Amino acid sequence: MLPFIAPIIGAIGKIAGSWLETRKVKAEGKIAIAKSKVDFKIAQYTARASMDLASVNDMRFSWKDEYLVLVIFVPIMMAFVPYLAPYALAGFAVVQTMPAWYQWAVTGIIAATFGIRTFKGWNK
């Protein structure tokens, strides 16, 4: 064999080894990033579940849900009683004249009370 071929083959081997090592490191980096994204999502869902559980435990002795159910359903029940229906409609007419920020605040309170995450993505 010619004496100059061995160093050339050695150099090519080093370059190929370096290239393979770089590809390996990049692949390991991509895997690590993917794993960290999965871990982050798991932590998010775990935190949400913990918050929901704490919220449920805090509401065990709360009357807020029952009050809001009454406020929402009494006008509907009034609509089925002929002499009370005009009063329910008049009440809604008054609510429509209230500022938009107040109407949105009431909507937000109701959504938060009954679990806004329940409605997240319902239209998909």
Q: What is the pLDDT of residues 63-116, one digit of tens each?
A: 777 888 888 889 989 989 999 999 999 999 999 999 999 989 888 888 877 766
Q: What is the 3-state secondary structure (H, E, C) of 88-109?
A: HHHHHHHHHCCCHHHHHHHHHH
The token pair that represents 64 in the structure block: 């807020």
Does residue 118 register a pLDDT over 70?
no
How far is residue 93's CA from residue 89's CA, in Å, rounded to a whole number?
Answer: 6
CA 119 to chain CA centroid, nearest Å:
10
Q: What is the pLDDT of residue 117?
A: 56
Percent of the chain with pLDDT over 90: 26
How far is residue 56's CA from residue 87's CA, in Å, rounded to a whole number?
Answer: 35
Question: Cβ(78)–Cβ(87) under 8 Å?
Answer: yes
Domain chopping of the chain, boundaries = 1-60, 62-124
